[in-house]
A and B are shown apart, each in its own frame.
Chain A
Amino acid sequence: MSCDTFKPLLMGYLDEELTALEAARVGQHLQECHECTTDLEDFRKLKEVTRNMRVVMPDDKYWDEYWSNIYNRLERKVGWILLSLGSIILSAYGLYWVIAEVFLGKNVPLVIQIGVGALVVGFCALLVSVLRERFFLSKSDKYERIKR
């Protein structure tokens, strides 16, 4: 077998993760191959120099709060959905009620009907425009995240 086959196995050999049979095969190869022996020695030195080193762990308080942060965000998400749903239902009903009162009600002056109509149409136009901007245009805005 070529060195390329043995190279990854050198890792298992170094970390003592090979089976006895695999380790024996690698050991035999090392006796015959100077390049792999040098390679293994370099990896051994690298392992030695980083021995006892660890990636710094976040403080315990972060781990203590880890699950509660997730839980709170899951819970809030449900809360936001319900709040939004409730607001939409009530707003829609309120709008319907105002329109019905103003346009179908008796004795409402024309000027009030025109005023309310303009208000409702204007509000809807602005809402659609803002939503369109948020959902479509901001996605392609490459300057969106630049710090000012």
Chain B
Amino acid sequence: MNPIDEGSAIERCKNGDREAFGLIVQKYMKPAYYVALGYVGRPDDALDISQDAFINAFRHIKRFDSSKSFFPWFYSILKNLCMNHINRSRRRKEDSIDEMVEEEGQSRIPVETVNPEQGAVQRDLEIKIGTALQRLRPKEREIIILQHFQDYSYQEIADLLGVPIGTVMSRLYSARRALRRELERMGVRY
């Protein structure tokens, strides 16, 4: 969908056209999922939260200035929901020792190798990288997932997040440095 189509789809959404909103959802559902995954770290939660964000966006679509790009506006809704989720999870962890133990055991971003010759060493590396990713701060995880693991260009990331390319580079620098540090701490040699 080109920007002109997006603008007209948004205008139709403002008149309550849900089918037009479907076009917007189809275009942005995967970036929304990756951003949410970067924040909350769990695939199921990321799917739920990204869907909630689209529902909220549709409800408030009349407030959106359709001369601007949709995703940066949507991103602020999504980020708020993610932060609420993280805060709720933190409170829950404080309240429940059982859940804290359970989450410690399974906390890693699922990572896989494309066209793998899947050996035990590679599998172990995937697990370690997934665990290291999970230990990054949400903003670091977000940019690493988008650029490093999903191959979005700097321009695409800048457009998605509504930030300049310089910011993309500096965030990526500190995120990669943090990832490197985590991997070294886990004894990964490369």
Contact = CB atoms under 8 A, between A and B. Distances in A.
Partners in one complex: yes
A52 B113 contact: yes
A146 B113 contact: no
User: Chain B contact residues: over half helix, strand or loop, or mixed?
Assistant: helix
Chain A CB within 10 Å, residue with most, of B26, B96, B148, B150: B148
Interface stretch (B3-11, B63-71, B76-84, B167-175): B167-175
A143 interface: yes
B159 interface: no
Interface residues of B, number: 52
A77 B91 CA distance: 29
Contact of B176 (A11, A48, A54, A67): A11
Nearest to A46: B180
A50 B92 CA distance: 33
B43 to A, nearest CB: 6
B39 interface: no
B96 A54 contact: no
A71 B92 CA distance: 30
Given A49-B125, A53-B126, A70 B25 contact: yes
Interface residues of A, number: 38
Contacts of B37: 55
Given A15-B147, A55-B34, A55-B110, A74 B176 contact: no
Chain A CB within 10 Å, residue with most, of B145, B173, B180: B173
Contacts of A62: 47
Interface string A1-24: 000000111111001010000000
Nearest to A62: B47
Interface of B: 18, 22, 25-26, 29-30, 33-34, 37, 43, 47, 51, 54-55, 58, 88, 91-92, 95-96, 98-99, 109-116, 125-126, 129, 145, 147-150, 153-154, 165-166, 169-170, 172-173, 176, 179-180, 183, 188, 190
